């Protein structure tokens, strides 16, 4: 015996299916892109640089499938050259509402002997441009002070090397109400905890013959090893949580182990 569905029943069924599909669309989280704008300490490294690792590399693995990390950082860049080479425009043109831009410069801005150098006012002006143009797209800027270099005095105390430019970032973040991750202070604290010798493991320190890419060895106090990059990425991740950014909801807990690995 067949059962006929009356027209009213068909209409109700259609409305019900439509409502379910609409609700599924509404509650499905949208995709978010996190853009990384910065220098070599953050950048993706070529195989010829291995084991040197930018902290943005492990950072990109720490979120669920709704988040894409687009690392636009480049070696040797400052706020000035990031703009002049069109790297910043490339980010702005790709931004959508709800995206994030993590901005970390200073290493190359602050050195007068480099072509990338820009004075303190210029550095601040460029950061203000990054903030304004990100917000114009209804995206979210996040400022990071430049990550510390490994430098200790004769007593084994960490010495800051970004004091002036980090202070500019802190002040600007406060004035513009921009989320701030104080990577300079946090990384200094990490290096101090480890001490002069153990902290070398976080950097691209290699003995002669240890790496085919550095046959004569390497003593680099600026760029990170794989372990160092994971540790710095962990600091940034913790900053996201402490700031209570919406992005924190998309941290993939199963991916946290490599960050804490010793």
Nearest-angstrom CA–CA distance, 200 and 103:
26
CB atoms within 10 A of CB 74: 18
How many angstroms separate the Cα of 70 from the Cα of each of 44, 57, 76, 103, 246? 10, 10, 18, 12, 18
Question: Of 97, 210, 246, 261, which residue is the catalytic one?
Answer: 210
CB 146 within 8 A of CB 103: no
- 187, containing H or E segment: helix 183-198
Q: Which residues sit opposite 203 in a β-bridge? A: 224
Nearest-angstrom CA–CA distance, 208 and 200:
15
CB 53 within 8 A of CB 232: no
Nearest-angstrom CA–CA distance, 232 and 201:
13
* Residues comprising the chain, all counted: 262
Question: Of 40, 60, 78, 187, which residue is the catalytic one?
Answer: 40
Nearest-angstrom CA–CA distance, 108 and 55:
17
Nearest-angstrom CA–CA distance, 81 and 87:
8
Question: Of 162, 187, 199, 223, which residue is the catalytic one?
Answer: 223
Radius of gyration in angstroms for the set of CA atoms belonging to the chain, rounded to a whole number: 23
> Does 210 qualify as catalytic in the annotation?
yes
> Does 96 qualify as catalytic in the annotation?
no
What number of CA atoms fall less than 13 Å from residue 259's CA on the CB side? 22
> Does 40 qualify as catalytic in the annotation?
yes
Which residues are the active-site residues? 40, 210, 223
């Amino acid at each position: 015996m067949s059962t006929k569905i009356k027209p009213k029943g068909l209409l109700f069924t259609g409305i019900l299916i439509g409502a379910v599909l609409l609700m599924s669309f509404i509650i499905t989280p949208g995709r978010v892109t996190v853009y990384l704008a910065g220098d070599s300490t953050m950048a993706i490294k070529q195989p010829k640089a291995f084991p040197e690792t930018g902290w943005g590399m492990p950072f990109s693995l720490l979120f669920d499938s709704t988040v894409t990390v687009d690392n636009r950082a480049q070696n040797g860049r400052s706020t000035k050259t990031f703009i002049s080479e069109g790297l910043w425009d490339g980010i702005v043109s790709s931004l959508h509402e709800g995206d994030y831009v993590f901005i970390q410069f200073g290493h190359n801005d602050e050195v007068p002997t480099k072509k990338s150098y820009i004075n303190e006012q210029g550095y601040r002006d460029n950061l203000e441009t990054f903030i304004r143009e990100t917000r114009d797209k209804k995206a979210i800027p996040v400022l990071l002070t430049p990550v510390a270099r490994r430098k200790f005095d004769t007593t084994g105390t960490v010495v800051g090397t970004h004091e002036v430019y980090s202070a500019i970032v802190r002040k600007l973040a406060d004035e513009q109400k921009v989320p701030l991750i104080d990577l300079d202070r946090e990384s200094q604290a990490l290096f101090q905890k480890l001490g002069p010798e153990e902290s070398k493991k976080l950097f691209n320190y290699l003995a002669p013959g240890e790496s085919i890419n550095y046959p004569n060895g390497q003593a680099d106090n600026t760029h990170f090893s794989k372990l160092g990059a994971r540790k710095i990425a962990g600091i940034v991740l913790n900053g996201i949580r402490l700031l209570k950014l919406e992005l924190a909801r998309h941290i993939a807990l199963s991916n946290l182990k490599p960050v804490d690995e010793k």
